[in-house]
């Protein structure tokens, strides 16, 4: 190849063109007749990074896309010397990069013009080509940005006027790419950002010549505010233009703002730490939860906040997070609060791939941990309690057919070990109760009803044991999910209950024996006592000397005291045993008040004490209450008042306090006396059983001390209480208030007293005068008062005349009889001229009866004055007068009738007493006798009596059996049958009424009670 070099050298020397050509660059010579012969200067290989000539031809280094160009770029020149011969060919550099080489060819031709050599020069234009490509890329990028909907491209002059606007910017801000040229950028920036925008457009104030970035808020086409980040290129010296490339960050800002708001308000704590554990960020919740400020937190090691016992597990989790670059499950640990306490948190960790920091998210679980601790404590307590109470749990899953039993349940069943128990095995322990529990479980499954059963089982060890089993079923969407419940060992309880039942049976037997004993004792005591009391009272009516009368009175008092003691003990026993129940019934309240006051009239007459009955006019006549118990309370209070009063008066007052919210009417009952009174320090003690004011009281007045205690307990059953006001030496006031249903809204006033205008009331007792005045005021009758006989005579001597004079018998100085006698004899006022009604305390005073006959007295009324009796007596003043020796009452009318009364009594003494009492009060009556129940039936069939007194205990047939037979024999009307019994125990009255009897009289039967019962039942009997 040296000949080419020599030839080239010759050509360079001989041809100036070749010499100039060679100087431009490297040289490449190619023998066209032998193409494989090529020579090029070492400079070419240096351009490709080689120090020596490689063993490959130059064609091997050409870029594949330029191989064709390299082979054919000289074809035209070789054919025509005037055709150009040049190209740009890419070669691979030794490093694999591209080297751009511009080649120029010159064909050496023969004299004939045929080319035989091709000289090629080459020069490296890589940098130029790269610059050209960069310019092309920039142009393409510029065009892309200008047409892009993602970026804004704007040009402005130095004053901020638009020179160019791309379509995206115009569309978003409502501008026209041509019409708005010259418009100021500042017009679209909000006022707060205009100074910042102006500074940005002032190039000489830029801190560096590098492009500047700034965020401006501008008004969009629909009036919304958008946040735009602008990148400003400095102005060129020739164009004096700013190029602004912008992007809309409004949504990014919203996301950032929302994220910041989320971080600020999240309850979880967000922190970041370096791989070394240094805190670099903490959310606001860090301060809220743990109390540390950011200044106290950032830059500190996270380990300084973690509990020492939890540090190892936390560090292991962080190490695992860094090595695996994965989020690890939460770790529960404690973080120290600023106040020194420890807070529980569960923390998850993840790695930020961009910054390499670890992101920690902590959720505070302090409350949960406290709840878990409390739950654990409760569970322990429950387990301990279950052990002590022997209550276990069980659960059965029907899908898995698995039965779970708690440890206590296994202990109750005496199951050894912890081996699972199947349902059939558990049911087998229930023995004969298995089918019943299966039925209960089926009912629970069908109707959702739980069961609660006490059954006796046989444990796994064969021991009988009582258990209580409770079961429930859990049904979800109509399908049974599980059965569950509890088992309780109640074996000891059952044994105790058995003992209690046995004790109760023994107690009931003892109670029955006690009741029978009390009934028998009551009967045995009352039967002879009936004769003692009855005949003693009759004996007092016969002529006796003073000593004999004193002895008989002592007998009566002793018998009455004994009777009171028996009654009190029986009542107290019933109340203490809880066997006393109220039986509400319709009650005639004025009648009841009359009855209870009548019971103390005999004693009052003997002690010369005035008995007053004050029933307010607005008191309803009929109420609904337990009349027996209400009467008992009032009798106790009146008896106490009589016992402790030596002179003066005793008043029973009944008032209506109006209707209550409950619809019931409140009544106030009070008993006032002028007796010895009670010391204040003894007010509570006297209500205790067997207690009196002091021991001397018992010695002086007698009694058991049970009366007030019984009354208090009876009132408690009526939801009331007994109250006391008392002054020693002046008297006492006992009262109680009770709410009762009323059966009539107003007092009944049926008597017409229009012929009466003015009445004179002569009575030394002011209270009695007031009571009678109130009664007459209801008929608009005017009353004048006289407190003595002398005062009455003075009034009658004047010209004043009265329609009637109500004259009290017992008055000091001049009594009623003496006053009436002087009216008739001295004032010469006959019965027609001046009607007079006598007020007295007894109807059984023969001397009084004898003295009244010649004085032309119109009528006689017993105290306390009853309203209806007073009205009836006054209304009869215009009618023929009744005999003055008898009080005007229903009893007087009955005494004149030819009644047939049957007495069934096996005790001869009691029979004689009853006959004597009835014969004295009803002289026209026919008295029939029967000493057995069988005889009573026969007498009823033969004589059809108007009323029967039936002793309960009689031979052959007792009173109950005889009454039942008589009721069967009745044809036309019901004959009143009144039980005579010495038994006052619980249930005796009910037993009598259930047998068909109409009323119940307890022996000893006093005259007043006997006459009251006769009057009551014979008035009802049809004529």
Q: What is the average pLDDT across 454-465? A: 84
- Better pLDDT: 867 or 526: 867
- Better pLDDT: 260 or 737: 737
**Residue 561 maps to a domain:** no
- Total count of residues recorded for the chain: 1023
294 Cβ contact partners less than 8 Å away, ≥ 6 residues apart: 282, 286, 287
Same-domain pairing of 601 and 736: yes
Last residue of a domain, one of 473, 495, 517: 495
Same-domain pairing of 736 and 797: no
- Please state which of the ranges 209-213, 233-237, 835-839, 932-936 shows the lowest mean pLDDT: 233-237
Q: What is the average pLDDT across 602-616? A: 84
Q: What is the average pLDDT across 965-994? A: 80
Answer yes or no: are the C-beta atoms of 571 and 706 closer than 8 Å.
yes
Same-domain pairing of 460 and 597: no
Same-domain pairing of 807 and 764: yes
Structure tokens at 630: 């209400």
| Per-residue pLDDT at 267 | 67
542 phi and psi angles, rounded to 5 deg: -95, 160
CA distance 690 to 639: 16
Give the model confidence (pLDDT) of 152-186 as tens digits.
Answer: 888 888 788 888 888 888 888 888 888 888 888 88
Answer yes or no: are the C-beta atoms of 899 and 922 closer than 8 Å.
yes
CA distance 470 to 278: 59
160 Cβ contact partners less than 8 Å away, ≥ 6 residues apart: 184, 185, 186, 197, 198, 201, 242
pLDDT of 872 over the 60 cut = yes
| Per-residue pLDDT at 653 | 93
**Residue 686 maps to a domain:** no
| Per-residue pLDDT at 655 | 93
Structure tokens at 351: 């790695």
Same-domain pairing of 641 and 779: no
CA distance 966 to 59: 154
| Per-residue pLDDT at 325 | 79
- Please state which of the ranges 16-20, 762-766, 777-781 shows the lowest mean pLDDT: 16-20
Banded model confidence at residue 209, pLDDT cuts 50, 70, 90: low
**Residue 892 maps to a domain:** no
- Better pLDDT: 699 or 212: 212
37 phi and psi angles, rounded to 5 deg: -95, 115
Q: Return the exposure string of 266-300: e unless at least 16 CB atoms fall within 10 Å of the residue's CB, then b.
A: eebbbbbbeeebebebbbebbbebbebeeeebbee
Same-domain pairing of 337 and 395: no
pLDDT of 963 over the 50 cut = yes
- Let me know how many helices (H) and strands (E) the chain has, helices first: 34, 37
pLDDT of 780 over the 80 cut = yes
CATH label of the domain that carries residue 273:
3.30.450.20
Residue of 102, 19, 97, 27 whose CA lies nearest to 63: 97
488 Cβ contact partners less than 8 Å away, ≥ 6 residues apart: 389, 390, 391, 392, 412, 467, 468, 469, 470
Percent of the chain whose pLDDT exceeds 70: 81
CA distance 177 to 435: 95
Answer yes or no: are the C-beta atoms of 592 and 628 closer than 8 Å.
no
575 phi and psi angles, rounded to 5 deg: -70, -45
Same-domain pairing of 910 and 840: no
Q: Domain tally for the chain?
A: 7
Please name the residue that has the structure tokens 């629970």.
Answer: 444
- Better pLDDT: 598 or 952: 952
| Per-residue pLDDT at 882 | 43
pLDDT of 243 over the 90 cut = no
| Per-residue pLDDT at 697 | 45
Q: What is the average pLDDT across 421-437? A: 78
pLDDT of 892 over the 70 cut = no
CA 916 to chain centre: 69
CA distance 392 to 405: 8
Same-domain pairing of 85 and 26: yes
Residue of 182, 149, 183 whose CA lies nearest to 167: 149
Residue 308 DSSP symbol: G
- Please state which of the ranges 812-826, 924-938, 997-1011 shows the lowest mean pLDDT: 997-1011
Would you call 339 exposed, middle or buried from its count of C-beta atoms within 10 A (0-12, 13-18, 19+)? exposed
DSSP string, 490-544: -HHHHHHHHHHHHHHHHHHHHHHHHHHHHHHHHHHHHHHHHHHHHHHHHHHTS--
**Residue 527 maps to a domain:** no
CA distance 109 to 129: 33
Q: How many CA atoms lie within 13 A of 822 on its CB side?
A: 14
Banded model confidence at residue 886, pLDDT cuts 50, 70, 90: very low
Same-domain pairing of 108 and 169: no
Structure tokens at 749: 């006033």
Instruction: Please give the mean pLDDT across all residues of the chain.
Output: 79
pLDDT of 519 over the 80 cut = no
Same-domain pairing of 855 and 984: no
3-state secondary structure 725-765: EEECCCEEEEEEEEEECECCCCCCCCCCCCCCCEEEEECCC
Q: What is the average pLDDT across 949-976? A: 89
Give the model confidence (pLDDT) of 410-420 as tens digits.
Answer: 888 888 877 88
Mode of pairing for the β-strands spanning 836-840 and 859-862 = parallel
The enclosing H or E element of 928 equals: strand 926-930
- Better pLDDT: 193 or 3: 193
pTM: 0.40
**Residue 567 maps to a domain:** no
Give the other-Cβ count within 10 Å of 331's Cβ.
Answer: 18
CA 130 to chain centre: 89
786 phi and psi angles, rounded to 5 deg: -140, 130
Last residue of a domain, one of 811, 844, 877: 877
Please name the residue that has the structure tokens 């009637």.
Answer: 804
- Better pLDDT: 1016 or 902: 902
Name the 3-class secondary structure at 374: helix
Give the other-Cβ count within 10 Å of 537's Cβ.
Answer: 21
CA distance 426 to 405: 10
CATH label of the domain that carries residue 619:
3.30.565.10
561 Cβ contact partners less than 8 Å away, ≥ 6 residues apart: 702, 703
Banded model confidence at residue 694, pLDDT cuts 50, 70, 90: very low
Please name the residue that has the structure tokens 């063109």.
Answer: 17
Same-domain pairing of 180 and 281: no
| Per-residue pLDDT at 204 | 59
Residue of 1007, 1010, 1005, 1009 whose CA lies nearest to 907: 1005
167 phi and psi angles, rounded to 5 deg: -65, -40
pLDDT of 876 over the 60 cut = yes
For 299-433, strand residue ranges (E) read 328-336, 342-351, 358-364, 391-397, 402-405
Name the 3-class secondary structure at 67: helix
Q: Return the exposure string of 686-717: e unless at least 16 CB atoms fall within 10 Å of the residue's CB, then b.
A: bbebebbbeeebeeeeebbbbbbbbbbbbbee
- Better pLDDT: 108 or 477: 108
CA distance 288 to 307: 19
The enclosing H or E element of 666 equals: strand 665-673
Banded model confidence at residue 515, pLDDT cuts 50, 70, 90: low
Last residue of a domain, one of 203, 221, 253: 253
Q: What is the average pLDDT across 899-914? A: 85
Please name the residue that has the structure tokens 């108007």.
Answer: 946
Q: 188-197, 429-438, 619-628, 733-742 — which one is most confidently predicted on average? A: 733-742
CATH label of the domain that carries residue 768:
3.40.50.2300
Give the model confidence (pLDDT) of 367-397 as tens digits.
Answer: 888 888 888 777 777 666 666 666 778 888 8
CA triplet 583, 585, 586: central angle to 5 degrees? Answer: 165
Same-domain pairing of 843 and 939: no
pLDDT of 654 over the 90 cut = yes
840 phi and psi angles, rounded to 5 deg: -140, 170
pLDDT of 283 over the 70 cut = yes
Structural domain of 336:
266-371
**Residue 751 maps to a domain:** no
Structure tokens at 44: 């070419």
**Residue 628 maps to a domain:** yes
| Per-residue pLDDT at 690 | 43
87 phi and psi angles, rounded to 5 deg: -165, 165
**Residue 677 maps to a domain:** no
The enclosing H or E element of 52 equals: none
Residue 999 DSSP symbol: E
Give the model confidence (pLDDT) of 117-142 as tens digits.
Answer: 888 888 888 888 877 776 666 665 66
Banded model confidence at residue 30, pLDDT cuts 50, 70, 90: confident
């Amino acid at each position: 190849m040296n000949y080419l070099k020599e030839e080239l050298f010759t050509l360079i020397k001989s041809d100036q063109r070749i010499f100039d050509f060679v100087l431009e660059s490297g040289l490449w010579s190619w023998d066209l007749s032998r193409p494989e012969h090529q020579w090029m200067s070492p400079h070419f290989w240096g351009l490709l990074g080689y120090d020596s000539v490689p063993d490959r031809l130059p064609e091997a280094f050409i870029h594949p896309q330029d191989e064709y160009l390299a082979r054919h770029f000289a074809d035209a020149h070789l054919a025509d010397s005037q055709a150009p011969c040049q190209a740009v060919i890419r070669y691979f550099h030794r490093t694999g990069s591209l080297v751009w080489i511009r080649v120029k060819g010159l064909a050496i031709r023969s004299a004939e013009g045929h080319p035989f050599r091709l000289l090629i020069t080459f020069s490296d234009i890589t940098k130029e080509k790269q610059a050209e490509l960069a310019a092309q890329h920039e142009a393409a990028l510029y065009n892309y940005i200008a047409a892009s909907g993602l970026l804004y491209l704007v040009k402005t002059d130095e004053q901020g006027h638009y020179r160019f606007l791309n379509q995206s910017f115009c569309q978003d801000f409502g501008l026209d790419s041509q019409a708005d040229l010259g418009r100021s950028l500042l017009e679209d920036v909000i006022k707060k950002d205009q100074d910042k925008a102006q500074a940005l457009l002032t190039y000489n104030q830029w801190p560096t010549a590098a492009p500047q970035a700034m965020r401006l808020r501008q008004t969009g086409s629909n009036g919304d505010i958008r946040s735009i980040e602008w990148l400003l290129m400095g102005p060129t010296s020739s164009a004096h233009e700013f190029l602004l490339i912008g992007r809309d960050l409004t949504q990014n800002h919203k996301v950032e703002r929302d994220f910041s708001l989320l971080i600020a308000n999240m309850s979880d704590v967000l922190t970041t730490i370096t791989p070394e554990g240094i805190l670099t960020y903490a959310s606001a919740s860090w301060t809220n939860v743990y109390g540390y400020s950011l200044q106290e937190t950032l830059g500190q090691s996270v380990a300084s906040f973690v509990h020492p016992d939890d540090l190892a597990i936390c560090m292991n989790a962080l190490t695992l997070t860094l090595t695996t670059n994965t989020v690890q499950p939460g770790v529960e640990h404690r973080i120290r609060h600023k106040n020194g306490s420890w807070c529980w948190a569960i923390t998850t960790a993840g790695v930020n791939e961009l910054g390499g920091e670890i992101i920690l998210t902590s959720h505070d679980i302090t409350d949960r941990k406290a709840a878990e601790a409390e739950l654990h404590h409760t569970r322990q307590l429950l387990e301990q309690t279950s052990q002590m109470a022997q209550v276990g749990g069980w659960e059965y899953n029907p899908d898995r057919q698995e039965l779970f039993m708690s440890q206590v349940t296994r202990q109750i069943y005496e199951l050894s070990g912890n081996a699972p128990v199947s349902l059939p095995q558990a049911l087998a322990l229930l023995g004969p109760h298995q089918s019943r529990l299966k039925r209960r479980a089926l009912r629970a499954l069908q109707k959702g009803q739980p069961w609660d059963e006490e059954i006796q089982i046989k444990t796994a060890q064969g021991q009988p044991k009582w258990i209580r089993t409770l079961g429930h079923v859990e049904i979800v969407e109509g399908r049974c999910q599980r059965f569950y419940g509890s088992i309780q060992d109640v074996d000891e309880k059952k044994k105790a209950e058995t003992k209690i039942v046995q004790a109760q049976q023994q107690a009931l037997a003892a109670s029955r024996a006690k009741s029978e004993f009390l009934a028998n004792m009551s009967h045995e005591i009352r039967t002879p006592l009936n004769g003692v009391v009855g005949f003693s009272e009759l004996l007092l009516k016969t002529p006796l000397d003073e000593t004999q009368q004193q002895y008989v009175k002592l007998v009566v008092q002793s018998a009455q005291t004994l009777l009171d003691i028996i009654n009190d003990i029986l009542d107290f026993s019933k109340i203490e045993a809880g066997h006393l129940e109220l039986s509400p019934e319709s009650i005639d309240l004025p009648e009841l008040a009359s009855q209870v006051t009548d019971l103390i009239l005999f004693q009052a007459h003997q002690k010369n004490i005035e008995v007053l009955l004050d029933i307010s006019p607005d008191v309803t006549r009929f109420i609904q209450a337990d009349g027996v118990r209400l009467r008992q309370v009032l009798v106790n209070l009146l008896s106490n008042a009589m016992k402790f009063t030596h002179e003066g008066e005793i008043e029973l007052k009944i008032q209506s306090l109006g209707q209550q919210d409950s619809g019931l009417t409140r009544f106030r009952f009070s008993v006032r006396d002028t007796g010895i009174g009670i010391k204040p320090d003894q007010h509570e003690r006297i209500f205790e059983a067997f207690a009196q004011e002091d021991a001397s009281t018992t010695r002086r007045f007698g009694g058991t001390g049970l009366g007030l205690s019984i009354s208090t307990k009876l009132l408690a059953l009526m939801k009331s209480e007994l109250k006391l006001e008392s002054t020693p030496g002046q008297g006492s006031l006992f009262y109680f208030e009770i709410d009762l249903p009323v059966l009539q809204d107003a007092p009944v006033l049926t008597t017409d007293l229009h012929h009466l205008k003015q009445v004179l009331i002569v009575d030394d007792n002011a209270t009695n005068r007031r009571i009678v005045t109130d009664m007459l005021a209801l008929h608009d009758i005017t009353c004048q008062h006289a407190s003595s006989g002398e005062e009455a005579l003075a009034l009658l001597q004047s010209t004043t005349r009265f329609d009637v004079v109500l004259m009290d018998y017992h008055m000091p100085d001049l009594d009623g009889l003496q006053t009436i006698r002087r009216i008739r004899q001295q004032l010469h006022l006959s019965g027609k001229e001046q009607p007079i009604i006598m007020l007295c305390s007894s109807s059984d005073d023969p001397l009084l009866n004898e003295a009244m006959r010649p004085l032309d007295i119109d009528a006689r009324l017993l105290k306390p004055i009853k309203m209806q009796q007073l009205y009836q007596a006054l209304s009869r003043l215009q009618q023929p007068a009744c005999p003055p020796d008898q009080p005007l009452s229903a009893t007087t009318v009955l005494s004149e009738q030819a009644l047939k009364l049957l007495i069934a009594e096996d005790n001869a003494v009691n029979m004689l007493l009853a006959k004597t009492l009835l014969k004295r009060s009803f002289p026209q009556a026919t008295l029939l006798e029967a000493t057995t129940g069988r005889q009573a039936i026969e007498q009823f069939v033969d004589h059809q009596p108007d009323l029967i007194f039936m002793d309960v205990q009689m031979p052959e047939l007792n009173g109950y059996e005889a009454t039942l037979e008589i009721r069967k024999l009745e044809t036309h009307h019901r004959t009143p049958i009144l039980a005579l019994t010495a038994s006052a125990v619980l249930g005796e009255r009910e037993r009598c009424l259930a047998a068909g009897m109409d009323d119940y009289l307890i022996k000893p039967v006093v005259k007043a009670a006997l006459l009251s019962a006769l009057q009551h039942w014979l008035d009802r009997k049809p004529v």
